[in-house]
């Protein structure tokens, strides 16, 4: 589990990880990765302090371990919100990723 039991996570899931570990496990996308997963294009701000980039890297690594085609696009000097508000380069990279998937 990548997230700790921060306030928002506790509110969303209904308790702390210590109290409801199975709910946390089920809520984590990394626990559902399999060889049958579709390709994943991930983008993440390198200065994201809300969701550290190491979480995206761990997810990418798990996808790689299951032979799932994946790409992680790092948005330099961007935080959590600015990655979404100014995602232009990531959108272009995602379109190229999807085009390659359509060609395979």
Question: What is the per-residue pLDDT for 82?
Answer: 85
Pair 102, 74: CB distance under 8 Å: no
pLDDT digits (tens, 9 = 90+) for 4-63: 667 888 899 999 989 999 999 999 999 999 999 999 999 999 999 888 899 999 999 999
Pair 63, 40: CB distance under 8 Å: yes
H or E element, residue 89: helix 88-103
Task: Count up the domains in the chain and report the number.
Answer: 2
- 21 and 56: one domain? no
- 27 and 44: one domain? no
Which pair of tokens denotes residue 84?
A: 């979404």
Question: What is the per-residue pLDDT for 5?
Answer: 62
Cα 102 to chain centroid, rounded:
22
Residues spanned by the domain of 24? 1-32
Q: Rounded to two decimals, what is the model's pTM?
A: 0.84
H or E element, residue 73: strand 70-75
- 44 and 79: one domain? yes
Question: What is the per-residue pLDDT for 24?
Answer: 92
pLDDT digits (tens, 9 = 90+) for 88-98: 789 999 999 99
């Amino acid at each position: 589990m990548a997230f700790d039991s921060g306030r928002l996570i506790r509110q969303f899931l209904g308790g702390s990880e210590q109290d409801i570990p199975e709910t946390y496990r089920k809520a984590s996308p990394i626990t559902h990765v399999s060889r049958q997963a579709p390709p994943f294009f991930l983008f993440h701000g390198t200065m994201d302090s809300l969701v550290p980039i190491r979480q995206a890297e761990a997810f990418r690594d798990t996808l790689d371990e299951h032979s799932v085609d994946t790409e992680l696009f790092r948005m330099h000097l961007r935080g959590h919100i600015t990655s979404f508000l100014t995602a232009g380069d990531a959108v272009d990279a995602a379109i190229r990723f999807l085009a390659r998937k359509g060609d395979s």
